[in-house]
Structure 1
C-alpha cells in the first residue's frame, strides 16, 4: 500500500447504532473493537495489517486494543501498530481510542511482571515508545497480583493518569470482589478507573460466576469482553473439521485439537442452527449474545483479514434475544459443560 490513507467520509454515519457509553463515564466505545492480540506479530504482513486497521476505522471501529506482550514476539504488535500509526493514522489520533496493558511477564528479572509501581510505569513508557505515542487512552493492569498490595497498583495507575500518559485506566482478568476493591480505592482518589476487560462468551460464563458482571451492572463500570468467539470455536471454521489454515493447525498454543470434543462440536452445531434462524452467522450471534446486556460496553474481535471484521461488525444489527432463544442457548452451554465435566471425572 503506497498511497496515503484517507479515512472514509461516512465512517460515523451510523453513530447511534455503533457506540455505547462505557459504564457511567463520559467515554463511548464502539460496540465492536479490534484487538491486536494475534496477527500483528513479527512475521505478520504489513499490508494486511494496514488493510485491517483501515477497514475497521473506515467502518466506525475507533478502538484498538493492545498490550505490552502482544505479538509474537512480545512487543511486536505495539511496534507494528506504531509504524502504521506514524505513517498513516496520525491525522486521526484524536478520533481513536488506543489501549495497552501490563501485568504479564515482559522482561527478565523481578521488575518485569505483575503489578508493582516499578513494572507498570516502566512498561507503559516502553509501550509508548513502541507505538510512537505521547499517551494511551486506556491503560490496564492486565491481571490480579496476589503479592503486590492493590493500593500500590492503584496509586501507580493514578500517577500514570496524572502524568498525562493515559486518559483513563482499567483492570483486566479481575473477579468481582477484587474489581470492587479496586474501584473503591480509585474513587477515593478520583482516579478514572472505568472499565474491566475479561473473557466472556456463550461457552465461558466465568464473569457471571465470579461476581464481575453483577458488580459492573450495580456499580456502573464498563465491561469489554475478549475471546467472545471462544478462541475461534464459535467462528464457524471448525464446524466441519480443522482447516489447514486455522489457528489450531498453524499454532495450537491457545486452542488445541483436543478442545474440539465431539460433544462440544455437537453443541456448537446446535448454536449454529439458532444463529441461522436469527438470520445471523454463528460468530455474529456469539458477539450479539455478549452485547445483549447494556453493562457490556464492547466486544473485542481478532481478525486475520479485513472481511472478517466486516462480517463480525454485522453483529450489532440484532443484539436482542427472545426468552426462548436464551433458554435454548443456556441449555446447550450447560450440556456441553456437563459432558466435559463428566469426561474429566472418568
Structure 2
C-alpha cells in the first residue's frame, strides 16, 4: 500500500456496519448480531481479504470491539491480518491523539494498529500538528503507519511533508470514489496521490448499493430504504434512468465473467489506476462478504476499463 511495507489485498472490509447501532454514526446501519459479524469476517478472510478498516467514531469504539472479537474467534493470526482504524478530530486538538491511543488499543483487544488515520480534516489543530503526534506514536511502536481520510490534495501534501521531517511518509488517503463519484480524478487528489506514492482507499465504492443494479431492475426497492440513502438523487427515478446505460454494461460484463454488476464495479475500481487504489466495500450480511471476495477473482481488460469509464462520464453524476 503506497510507499509502506503493508502488503494488502486490493479489497479490504469496511466495518462501519459493526457499530451495533451505537451513537449517531452507528445508527446508520441496523444492529448486526455477533454471529453475523463473525461470519462476515470469516468469509472475508477465507476469500483472501487480509485487512479491515474501522474507526473510533463507528459506535464510539463498538465497531473496533466487534471486529476484534470476530478476528479472535476466527483463529486468524496477527501475522496475516492488518487492522486500520481512525482518530476522530472534530472539536479536538492534536493532543487528543496520544491521549486516546490507549483506548483504541483497548477496544482492539490485542490487535495492533497497522494503519492509523485522521478521519477528516476539520479539527482545532493543523494537519502538521496532527502528523507530528502520529509520528511520535509510530516511533514508539504504538502504530505502524499513518494515513488520512477526506483530505484535499493540498492537505495531503502538508501531511506528507510533516511526516517526512520525521523520516516517515503518508501511506494513504481514504476518500469517496466509485464509478458514480469520480471527483478525485478532477480535484487533484488522485493525481497528487500518484505523484507522492500515496494510496487511495475508496469508500462507498458501490455508491451505497446503486451500482449493484438491483434498484434499476426493481425501483420499488427504493421505497424500503432507510437512512439518508432514500433522499439521494441517485435513487430517484430520474437518477436511475440517468445511470441505466452504465448498469446495463456492468450486467453484460457480469455475464461474461460469471460475476455480478457489483463485482464488476469493484473490479474496475481496483484496476483502473494500477496499484494506487484500494477499496473497502462493507458487508451487512454474510452473502455481501461472499460478493466482495469474488470481485478479486478476475480482471477486466483495458478496453473494458476504458469503456466503463466513458459510460460513467456520460452518467453526469459528480
Hey, what does 2:43 align to over in structure 1?
55
Checking the alignment, whether the CA contact within 8 Å between 2:180 and 2:312 is kept in structure 1 is no
TM-score (norm 1): 0.79
Is the 8 Å Cα contact of residues 48 and 293 (structure 2) preserved in structure 1? no
**CA distances 1:77-136 after superposition (whole Å, capped 9, x unpaired):** 1122233344x246512211001001255xxxxxxx45x222222333222111212631
Structure 1 gaps, min length 5: 1-21, 106-112, 339-346
- Residues 307 and 331 of structure 1: is their aligned pair in 2 closer, same or farther, counting only changes over 3 Å? closer
What is the Cα deviation at residue 325 of structure 1?
5.8
The superposition leaves residues 110-166 of structure 1 with CA deviations (integer Å, 9 ceiling, x where unpaired) of: xxx45x222222333222111212631110011113641222111110111122221
- Computed over aligned residues only, the root mean square deviation of the Cα atoms, in angstroms, reads 2.4
User: TM-score if structure 2 supplies the norm length?
Assistant: 0.86
Unmatched 5+ stretches in structure 2: 22-30
Distance 2:4 2:152 in 1: 21
Say if 2:155 is the partner of 1:178.
yes
Residue 107 of structure 2 is aligned with which of 121, 130, 149? 130
Q: Is 1:241 aligned to residue 219 of structure 2?
A: yes
Deviation string 1:271-326 (CA, Å, 9 cap, x unpaired) is 22212322242211211121121143421011122222222222233443444763
Please name the residue that 1:251 is paired with. 226
Q: How big is each residue's C-alpha offset from its partner over 1:31-78, in whole Å with a ceiling of 9 and x where there is no partner?
A: 11111011442432010000000111112111011000113xx32211
Structure 1 position 250, deviation (Å): 5.4
Which of the numbers 196, 200, 207 marks the counterpart of 1:223?
200
Cα separation, 1, equivalents of 2:181 and 2:308: 16
Partner SS, residue 125 of structure 2: coil
Deviation at 1:327, TM superposition (A): 4.4
Moved more, 136-145 or 286-295: 286-295
Q: Which residue of 2 aligns with 1:290?
A: 269
Aligned length: 303
Where do residues 66-215 of structure 1 align in structure 2 (5 Å cutoff)? Answer: 66-71=54-59, 74-86=60-72, 88-89=73-74, 92-103=77-88, 105=90, 113-114=91-92, 116-133=93-110, 135-145=112-122, 147-215=124-192
Q: 1:219 to 1:264 in 2, by over 3 A?
A: same
